[in-house]
Amino acid sequence: MSEPSTTSALEPEPAIKAPKKALSKTSDFSDRISPMLVKELRQGLRTNIFTIVFLSLHILLCLILMGASGASNFTQTGPFISKILFFFFTLVTLFIQPLRGMNAVSSELKGETIDVLKISGMTTGRILWGKWAALMSQSSLILVTLLPYLFFRYFFGDMQLFSEIILYSSMLLASGLLTAMTVGFSGVTSVIIRSLVPLLLLIIVFLSLFTLSFRVFDHLIDFLSFQTRDNLLVYTGLVFLTLCGTYYFIEIGASAIRGLSENRATKKRILMLFTFIVTGFTLSQSSIQFATFTLFFMLLIAACDLFTESALFPKSLLAPFQRKGFIGKFLAYFLAPGYATGTLFYLVLVGVVCSFFFSFRNEMPSHMRDESLPIIFLFIATGIFPAFLSRIFRRNHPDHMSSYIMFMLISWGISIASILMIEISSSYLIATLFCWVPSNFIMIDDRETQKMGFSSDARLIFSIALAFLFSIGHLLLCFKKLFPLGGDFLKEK
């Protein structure tokens, strides 16, 4: 019997050929991009809403441009095309896209996936920023795809290309602010507050789009040509305010779902103070009336956050303040988390706003100088009034923001009812019964308050008294949270 041949066993095996290098690169996202952004962007681009809006927008614009190209009078056609393009762009970026952010965080809370995202190592800030960035990437894609239409519009003549590009970029920034607002408020526990407040603001934006696109468009183009130094300063201030407002609203949402060990209040308040100073300085160079109105509107928005922060947090968050000695303990009264320190910081912002007002007050017309003084104190009282009621009637309610917004809406509802009663039946009954509601006197001018029995001096004294009493009353109600010095706060029950 022959022996088996061993030559095959001794022969070397053929070398395994290395796979050829792929000729085409992978189409997946880079690993350096935030995983939250990748997740939201994949889901967002596949949704029917984005696809329908994207295709409908371009089909409409193509039809409009095809019809305009056959017009005989290009002089009037060119400006009309600019306004049409701007209207549809603002409709998508200032209304539809922010509207999609209303369900950003609430869907994670409803599906109970927010804890899974936190366990994965992502902070609440990264979660919110990822959702915001996904929506803004889609809005930016829409802007990029509109550029060919703008260049086509250029051949119709009578176009300031540079100013229009700045205008579209500015609307994209405004879209970022509105999207941050809806994404931030989507983390609020109350369904009514979470949906009602952003929806009301977006409806106001929607109703303003026609005026913005067809009546104010030419004025916006003239403003963005920057023919004067004041226009450039005002635009710089508005851009800075928009960027800081975007960060602020995202931080509101992050604070609503944050863990107890996260301190998101300190950096937010420092940036808030810096924003008030820069905004007041830039806007006051052009119009002190516009600057004052903007600052007090910002103050009301800041109050919504400062008076609703939870005071339930571990004492370890106060360690960085306590290590700084006396200065750190003093700063903890203003920068540590919680609605008690938020009250003191609110008064700091009030001081900043009032300093700008009284510094430039002499530049205002004489009749506005006297009428605006009681309005200043009424705005201060309006911001703290809902917080005062929340501490009394809903002290142990876990969702402070819902309570604050609810009382704010009730107070403005009473004021609107007072105005309607005065206009319809000349009755001052509601206005007199609820004279202690600060927003009442904001909406009723000095002439009408005199019919209620308040002289100009009495209205000013009453406004100062309301601001003082509500401020002191709220401080007394949350005094235990400020004791002892340096922020060794008692935990909220």
Beta-carbon contacts of 185 under 8 Å, excluding residues fewer than 6 positions away, are 102, 193, 194, 197, 198, 249, 252, 253
Whole-number pLDDT of residue 75: 61
The pLDDT value given to residue 488 = 46
Q: Give a yes or no: residue 121 inside a domain.
A: yes
User: Given this model, what pLDDT does residue 21 score?
Assistant: 45
- Is residue 108 situated within a structural domain? yes
pLDDT at 6: 44
Tokens describing residue 237 = 């201030």
Query: Quick check: is 120 in a domain?
Result: yes
**By the 8 A CB rule, do 336 and 478 touch?**
no
CB within 8 Å of 356: residues ≥ 6 apart: 280, 281, 284, 291, 292, 295
Quick one: pLDDT at residue 174?
93
Confidence at residue 7, expressed as pLDDT on a 0 to 100 scale: 44
Identity of the amino acid at 196: L
Task: Evaluate whether residue 84 is within a structural domain.
Answer: yes
> How distant, in Å, are the alpha carbons of 85, 275, 376, 445 from that of 368?
39, 26, 12, 12
pLDDT for 9: 44
Q: With beta carbons less than 8 A apart as the criterion, state whether 331 and 256 touch.
A: no
Cα separation, 54 vs 48, whole angstroms: 10
Taking the model in full, what pTM does it have?
0.80
Residue range of the domain that includes 172: 31-259
End-to-end CA, the chain: 95
Q: Is residue 116 part of a domain?
A: yes
| CA pseudo-torsion sign 183, 187, 191, 196 | negative
Is 146 a member of any domain? yes
In a domain, 170, yes or no: yes
Which stretch of DSSP H or E encloses residue 108? helix 104-110
Return the pLDDT at 28: 58
Q: Indicate the DSSP class of residue 20.
A: P
- Half-sphere exposure in the Cβ direction for 411 (13 Å, CA): 27
d(CA 156, CA 45) in angstroms, rounded, equals 34
Indicate if the alpha-carbon torsion angle 186, 190, 195, 197 is positive or negative: negative
Q: Are residues 210 and 117 in contact, defined by beta-carbon separation less than 8 angstroms? A: no
Rounded to a whole number of angstroms, the CA Rg of the chain reads 28
Q: Would you say 309 and 342 are in contact if contact means Cβ atoms under 8 Å apart?
A: yes
pLDDT of residue 122: 73
Count of CB atoms within 10 A of residue 14's CB?
6
DSSP state at residue 485 = T
3-state secondary structure of 98: helix
Residue-level pLDDT at 111: 67
- Indicate the number of domains in the chain: 1
Please count the other Cβ atoms lying within 10 Å of the Cβ belonging to residue 191: 10
Is 150 inside any structural domain?
yes
What is the C-alpha to C-alpha distance for residues 30 and 21, in angstroms, rounded to an integer? 19
Residue 431: Cβ within 10 Å count: 24
Spatial separation of the C-alpha atoms in residues 489 and 212, rounded to whole Å: 49
* Amino acid (1-letter code) at residue 288: I
Q: Which residues of 15-30 are buried (b: 16+ CB within 10 A; e: fewer)?
A: eeeeeeeeeeeeeeee
Low-confidence ranges of the chain (pLDDT < 50): 1-10, 15, 18, 20-26, 484-493
Please answer whether residues 328 and 350 qualify as being in contact, where contact means their C-beta atoms are separated by less than 8 angstroms. Answer: no
